[in-house]
Amino acid sequence: MKTIKDISDETGVSVQTVYRRLNKLSQSSNESLTEKVNGIAYFTETGEKLILETLSTVKQSLNADKQSESDNVLFLREQIKILNEQIERLTKMNENSQILLLNQQSLLPPKVSLWKKLFKRND
């Protein structure tokens, strides 16, 4: 007969998870799934089978969730890489446009204010 800690270690889930599943199974089952010996709860044969079946399902769903999260993380990292490349290209384009603007401005004749145009001295 196994204790809750034994089942927890065997299945790789926490003791709290075993207790939660045991409580749910106890509510739906008419049989006693555990028995106490010297203050320690041990699973009966039926209880051990039921809890192991339930926890294997839980562990499979947790593994599927972890795989899904892992896929999402990989996808997001790839998106970050793409966005960083776009940022670099836009930064370079911005630098180039500023250089072009400065070159164009240097080719223009200097601006003369209206005041100077009106009262221009002919030397």
Mean pLDDT over 46-59 rounds to 79
More confident site: 22 or 61: 22
Q: How far is CA 9 from CA 5, 6, 74, in A?
A: 6, 5, 31
Q: Dihedral of CA 30/31/34/35: which sign? A: positive
pLDDT value, residue 95: 96
Q: What is the average pLDDT score of the chain? A: 83
pLDDT at 68 over 80: no
pLDDT value, residue 43: 82
For every residue of the chain, DSSP letters joined together read --BHHHHHHHHT--HHHHHHHHHHHHHH-SS--EEEETTEEEE-HHHHHHHHHHHHHHHHHHHHHHHHHHHHHHHHHHHHHHHHHHHHHHHHHHHHHHHHHHHHHHHSPPP--HHHHHT----
92: which 2 tokens?
């370079």
Mean pLDDT over 11-26 rounds to 82
pLDDT value, residue 123: 52
Mean pLDDT over 32-52 rounds to 82
pLDDT at 15 over 80: yes
Cβ-in-10-Å burial (0-12, 13-18, 19+) of 58 comes to middle
Other beta carbons within 10 Å of 55: 20
pLDDT value, residue 122: 61
Q: What is the pLDDT of residues 81-123, one digit of tens each?
A: 999 999 999 999 999 999 999 998 888 887 878 888 788 766 5
Mean pLDDT over 18-27 rounds to 81
84: which 2 tokens?
């960083």
